[in-house]
Chain A
Amino acid sequence: MVAEQSSKKPFSVTLRVWRQAGPTVPGKFVDYPATNISPDMSFLEMLDVVNDELTKKGEEPIAFAHDCREGICGTCSCTINGKPHGPGKGVATCQTYMRSYREGDLILVEPFRARAFPVIKDLVTDRQAFDKIQQAGGFISVRTGAAPDANSIPVPKEDADLAMDAASCIGCGACVAACKNASAMLFVAAKVSQLGLLPQGQPERDKRVLAMVQTMDDAGFGNCTNQYECSAVCPKLISHDFIARLNRDYMGALFKARFRPTSNAAAGGA
């Protein structure tokens, strides 16, 4: 975390914001003054104030994605001064506070940039590629009502805790925006690891990792070259160690897929 302002005195900054009217038109940076900013304001509240001023002047406000404003929904998605989610460690844009900035600062605000996340308008991007990856295998196939008693399958606490670390992913896409290859490996690794660490996730473990990685590649995300920018900007501090786990699962599954005998059931069975 950068040094914080100690005083509560209002101050002013200049925003240099990416404006793009739609997916197919070129965008550009435009400067806007943000005046009378309280250090206790969140970054998004500062944008609210700027937008209200724009509206009063009859101009179109800056479109930006946001919802819960408490760092859990994964909707907010700005890159601020080149860093996805801004200067703080382990926080989303909505949890970035203006006390991180000083009078006179120039703040560059742009959308998450990646081929797989096309811009919809201004700072809003389309991240549905993440949903597609989930749909390919980010689940355990259990029909409602078919589950055994929850305590019938014990899970070692260490595994459950590690699975929870991975599961805390909010699907924001900062990992992709930070990566020079626009790789979604941390995102995919988190889900693959969560389910792979639990006994309930074993039956589909190989199938899952192969399907999710294939879909990730098809969506236009790049590969991992071990720079770890992803985990550095992750608002939930998800560790890049999970990428190693993903690679291990992937290699194992590929190998087994090649040598696994096929059962008659595939041909219809009895």
Chain B
Amino acid sequence: MAKLESKVPSGPLADKWQKHKTEIKLVNPANKRKYEVIVVGAGLAGSSAAATLAELGYKVKNFVFHDSPRRAHSIAAQGGINAAKNYQNDGDSVHRLFYDTLKGGDYRAREANVHRLAEVSVNIIDQCAAQGVPFAREYGGLLANRSFGGAQVSRTFYARGQTGQQLLLGAYSALSRMIGQGAVEMHNNSEMLDLVVVDGHAKGIVVRDLNTGVISRHSADAVVLATGGYGNVFNLSTYARQSNATAIWRAYKRGACLANPCYTQIHPTCIPVSGDYQSKLTLMSESLRNDGRIWVPKKKEDAKKDPASIPEADRDYYLERIYPSFGNLAPRDVSSRAAMRMCDEGRGVGETGLGVYLDFADVIKRLGEPVVRERYGNLFDIYHEITAENAYKTPMRIFPAVHYTMGGLWVDYNLMSNIPGLFVLGEANFSDHGANRLGASALMQGLADGYFVIPYTLGDYLAGQKPGSRPKTDAAEFKQAEENVSSMTQRMLANKGKEPVSHFHKRLGKIMWDHCGMARTKAGLEAALQKIPALREEFHANVKVPGSADTLNQSLEQAGRVADYMELGELLCRDALTREESCGGHFREEYQHPDGECKRDDENFGHVAAWEYQGEGKTPLRNTEPLNYEFTKMSVRSYK
């Protein structure tokens, strides 16, 4: 049974982080260089952490499977980053951002973590502006803001529709500076394939060089994972094709608890699927909902008609109708489910009937096409490239798609997992978004963890480790981990199967989407728990991985990742089955209010579920961490 101590400091909510910072242990500057820290991943969380820890004086090794840290998928975030700056004078404050985020997460996040996130949000904007991130500005030269879902203030900072790119390049520039100074040893094309635990502490990793196939061992005084989410378990998602769960899954199999895997975010505004060959789904930023109006025809028989031929009176602007106070800016989970209900009623549009309109006619009439082009031009271009349709003339067709995973490795207030010395940042951890993440909060969390939390909390752990005490890489634990990795690789390559990896990934994705997607039921999840192990067996018996281990081998890389999804998918369904309530991104059809909204069960499920690996073929153990709401009341989330 894992020990799950949240380590939330005592005292008033608004003082906890300040108080904690003054109470935790420090490492003296001369000793910092004696500690080696491994950071895996170089997205917003990983690169900001690696850069900042190196600035402090620690010896940092940064591993990334990309050919450059600048390629990490944070780069694709479009809309923006939240911060409680209140530059708009519209009543924003740290407390409001805290409250919106907590409520947006359907009261399933840790209060103290969310408050800290809101507090440091303001420092993030300062940091990024100083790095030269070209945020959008007003004519007076000051920073501009836009609105995002789930908030009634305008607190989102942005750089056109490429905010993630600009923030990542900012962090990448800070990281590049430290690499140039020799303070960070950068390992590109390096995929972490196992975690090494020595005497109960995380002390290293085993890595495969993707270009040469060489497997190497790396020891450290602490390991930081910032490897992103596991949404590609669904196959089709807005994730990059290579985004994967291997690092967190292998850490899970070494004893780190995986918390709330069933909390998955389905983003309401993505371009609908067009065929079987589809490899990814493309997001249309939520910021479009500032000005676009979402509708479906009132009558089923109009669903296949040209939208221009449907008169105003026959259109149902359903978000404005059902959620008058938030309208088109209702949170993601709420908007996605509403779209699904419209399609279930037979009012979905497009060839497949799985789509709703996002219409810009009104705003173009009000402000003119040039203004709309300036605000969203790049998004309209992307839409045109993919669909060959002009969204200035005809409404976009959109449909929900898997976009983010709120679940992840369990961490305490210090972002340390239940394995001492293993820290987890950004989307890879579970901590700040509860059951649903609000728009523009992922960038905020990734950078908060990397720039402003881990530099303090890592020191607290390292201060308790004797300098120079890290194990050598010839220790038995390293040898065993390397053998584990090599044997997996050899097994895959020696397999006499017939089907490519993608064949199995697609089938797994379909099971996940059908049974564990936007709406889940007991029967569906039980069916999935039958189907996934069977598919997993078939995968291992019949997958074909051509090529060899000693060169770039993309089939081999993908095979290892899909093998992990085959196991993680099952855990995700098990978590969804066990959580007998609906909250945020986890919607169980059995638990809903008469109007179709989530029905939470705070008494029985007001906790974090942290799964603990028990060994091959054994049912994992479900540990719980109660969520104590000291300062806010768990109330019914309403956006009406």
Contacts and interface: CB of A to CB of B under 8 A. Distances in A.
Given A55-B500, A88-B385, A45 B552 contact: no
A95 B382 contact: yes
A97 B503 CA distance: 22
Contacts of B70: 74, 131, 134, 171
A49 B71 contact: no
A139 B135 contact: no
A120 B73 CA distance: 22
Which 3 pairs, one residue from A and one from B, show the smallest C-beta to C-beta distance?
A: A154-B141, A135-B180, A147-B130
Interface stretch (B161-169, B219-227, B335-343): B161-169
B176 interface: yes
Interface string A138-176: 111111111111110111110011011001101100000
A194 interface: yes
A144 B177 CA distance: 12
Interface of B: 48, 51-52, 55, 66-73, 75-76, 85, 87, 123, 125-143, 159-160, 162, 165-166, 169, 172-174, 176-177, 179-180, 186, 188, 211, 240-242, 274-275, 277-280, 282-283, 381-382, 385-386, 388, 451-452, 455, 498-500, 502-503, 544, 546-547, 551-552, 554-555
Interface in A168-197: 168, 170-171, 194-195
Interface residues of A, number: 83
A103 interface: no
A99 interface: yes
Contacts, number: 227
A202 B521 CA distance: 59
B498 A56 contact: yes
Could you tell me the dominant secondary structure of chain A's interface residues? loop
Contacts of A154: 137, 140-142
A114 interface: no
Contacts of B177: 135, 139, 141
Given A127-B67, A135-B176, A143-B55, A153 B129 contact: yes
Contacts of B87: 151
A172 to B, nearest CB: 10
A150 B143 contact: yes
Given A41-B275, A194-B132, 11 more contacts: A41-B277, A61-B554, A69-B282, A72-B76, A131-B69, A131-B179, A131-B186, A139-B174, A145-B127, A168-B160, A198-B132
Contact of B66 (A4, A75, A145): A75
Q: Which of B73, B75, B134, B274 neighbours the largest number of chain A CB atoms within 10 Å of its CB? A: B134
Nearest to B381: A90
A42 interface: yes
26 contacts: A55-B500, A56-B498, A56-B500, A61-B500, A66-B242, A70-B280, A71-B385, A72-B76, A88-B385, A97-B385, A97-B386, A136-B180, A140-B131, A144-B174, A147-B126, A147-B131, A150-B135, A151-B143, A157-B137, A157-B139, A164-B159, A167-B159, A167-B166, A170-B165, A200-B132, A201-B132
